[in-house]
């Protein structure tokens, strides 16, 4: 089994003595997430079924909380809050954060670290989320605690522990914020009431990361848009974070090998490694920013298990369309827009070509398959003896149609309509 920890070694800007000290403590705290995540993984095989949990939740809603462990004690189900269940493992993490808060010269950062340490120990996660969201941009960055959901049928809704630590990439962050200001102001449309409008409250940053641990070391995401708690998003806002190092990793493990395999030599000569590396990071940046347009209040309850694949694909497709705005404003050129599409095609062919579907990536694999089939049906993509031949102009037109369908499903679609769509394109 792969250890849920990845250490990166990025080239960092010069840090002050206290910044270096704080960074070291944060990395140590992040490493201590590993044993908790491993415990959680063990529990995920515990043989309690969803029906039992739903039954128990009728009397006690804490069974469905994202932050409880469910166990069987003397044949009876009990829900134990994470901060109690993992108390002993959490203590040393909180101590590291406290220690870091004493060493930092940035008062606001120190305060947020303290609130975060407390959240781990008593479960006040929302308070910590809000403190981080309100924090002004700072060179050091950490996210630690139970954040993203397990992609697991039984434990649907439960969060897994993870952490990242990084140093701000100033140039990348500036570029991302430039894109943000263009695309999130481009659509001055009236917002229908079924959608939460938060795009004037979106923060964005690019990090050089030194460590991923817990779930994030498994998913190896290149970008995230957090929090997932929609009421905090509505009140306070959200934050997009991109990671340079996991982008490089994905290039090496997935994008380049697939690029060599699925495209013709002549086509490949049009795109160098650097074009695709930036294309990959750019489409993910646009994907994360696009999430801000897609907070439909009832989508999750309406579409149920099909919500995630549709929501995630919609973010990417809208991302490409908004990249069209960047093209119109000369922020990117045709070739750069094409490189984004090529990178996404590679990612999808990579996921679809896996012998065993990676459970954590199941939603993305399904979304990617829908994307490929939709392009094939629209004649925007042709396949000849295993070689993919895209027509970029047609791809762009097809994306428009695809987005209309996805947006309608998110805004007012039923589970049944989503299932029909998935059945048609998801194989």
Q: Which residues bind Zn ion (CB under 5 A)?
A: 312, 315
- Which residue do the tokens 């004037």 mark? 200
Extended strands (E) in 215-303: 223-226, 238-243
List the helix and strand counts (H, then E) for the chain: 20, 10
Q: Which residues of 241-259 are buried (b: 16+ CB within 10 A; e: fewer)?
A: bbbbbbbbbbbeebbbebb
Query: Cα 300 to chain center, whole Å?
Result: 17
CB of 364 to Zn ion, least distance (A): 9
79 or 315: whose CB is closer to Zn ion? 315
CB of 162 to Zn ion, least distance (A): 16
65 or 159: whose CB is closer to Zn ion? 159
3 state DSSP class of 60: coil
**Burial degree of 267 (CB within 10 A; 0-12, 13-18, 19+):** middle
163 or 310: whose CB is closer to Zn ion? 310
CB of 290 to Zn ion, least distance (A): 8
Contacting residues for 305 by C-beta, under 8 A, at least 6 apart:
none
β-sheet bridge partners, residue 384: 387
CB of 316 to Zn ion, least distance (A): 8
28 or 312: whose CB is closer to Zn ion? 312
CB of 239 to Zn ion, least distance (A): 13
CB of 367 to Zn ion, least distance (A): 10
115 or 233: whose CB is closer to Zn ion? 233
Alpha carbon of 419 to those of 180, 334, 408, 415, 425: distances in Å? 33, 35, 14, 6, 10
CB of 343 to Zn ion, least distance (A): 15
65 or 219: whose CB is closer to Zn ion? 219
32 or 306: whose CB is closer to Zn ion? 306
Contacting residues for 140 by C-beta, under 8 A, at least 6 apart:
19, 22, 23, 26, 104, 106, 109, 165, 166, 167, 168
The total of other beta-carbon atoms located within 10 Å of residue 288's CB is 27
CB of 284 to Zn ion, least distance (A): 9
210 or 225: whose CB is closer to Zn ion? 225
Q: Which residues of 8-39 are buried (b: 16+ CB within 10 A; e: fewer)?
A: bebeeeeeeeebeebbebbbbbbbbbbebbbe
């Amino acid at each position: 089994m792969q250890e849920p920890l990845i250490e990166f070694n990025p080239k960092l800007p010069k840090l002050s003595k206290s910044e270096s000290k704080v960074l070291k403590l944060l990395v140590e705290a992040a490493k201590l997430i590993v044993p908790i995540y491993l415990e959680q993984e063990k529990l995920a095989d515990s043989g309690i079924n969803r029906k039992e949990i739903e039954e128990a939740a009728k009397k006690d809603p804490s069974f469905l909380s994202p932050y409880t462990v469910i166990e069987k004690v003397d044949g009876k189900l009990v829900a134990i809050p994470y901060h109690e269940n993992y108390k002993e493992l959490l203590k040393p993490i909180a101590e590291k954060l406290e220690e870091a808060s004493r060493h930092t010269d940035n008062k606001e950062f120190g305060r947020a670290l303290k609130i975060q340490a407390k959240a781990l120990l008593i479960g006040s996660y929302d308070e910590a989320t809000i403190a981080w969201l309100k924090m002004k941009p700072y060179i050091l960055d950490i996210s630690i605690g139970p954040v993203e959901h397990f992609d697991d049928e039984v434990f649907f809704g439960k969060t897994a522990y993870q952490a990242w630590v990084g140093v701000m990439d100033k140039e990348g962050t500036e570029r991302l914020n430039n894109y943000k200001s263009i695309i999130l102001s481009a659509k001055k449309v009236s917002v229908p009431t079924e959608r939460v409008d938060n795009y004037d409250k979106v923060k964005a940053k690019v990090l050089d990361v030194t460590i991923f641990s817990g779930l994030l070391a498994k998913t190896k995401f290149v970008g995230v848009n957090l929090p997932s708690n929609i009421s905090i998003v509505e009140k306070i806002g959200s934050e997009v974070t991109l990671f340079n190092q996991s982008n490089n990793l994905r290039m090496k493990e997935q994008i380049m090998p697939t690029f060599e395999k699925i495209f013709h030599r002549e086509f490949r000569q049009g795109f160098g490694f650097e074009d695709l590396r930036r294309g990959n990071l750019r489409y993910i940046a646009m994907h994360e920013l696009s999430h801000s347009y897609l907070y439909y209040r009832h989508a999750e309850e309406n579409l149920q298990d099909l919500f995630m694949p549709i929501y995630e694909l919609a973010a990417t497709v809208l991302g490409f369309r908004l990249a069209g705005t960047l093209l119109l404003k000369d922020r990117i050129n045709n070739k750069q827009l094409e490189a984004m599409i090529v990178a996404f095609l590679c990612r999808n062919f990579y996921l679809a070509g896996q012998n065993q579907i990676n459970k954590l990536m199941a939603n993305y694999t399904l979304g990617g398959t829908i994307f490929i089939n939709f392009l094939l049906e629209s004649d925007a993509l042709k396949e000849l003896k295993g070689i993919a031949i895209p027509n970029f102009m047609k791809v762009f037109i097809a994306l428009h149609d695809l987005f209309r369908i996805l947006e309608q499903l998110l805004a007012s679609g039923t589970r049944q309509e989503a299932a029909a769509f998935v059945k048609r394109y998801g194989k």
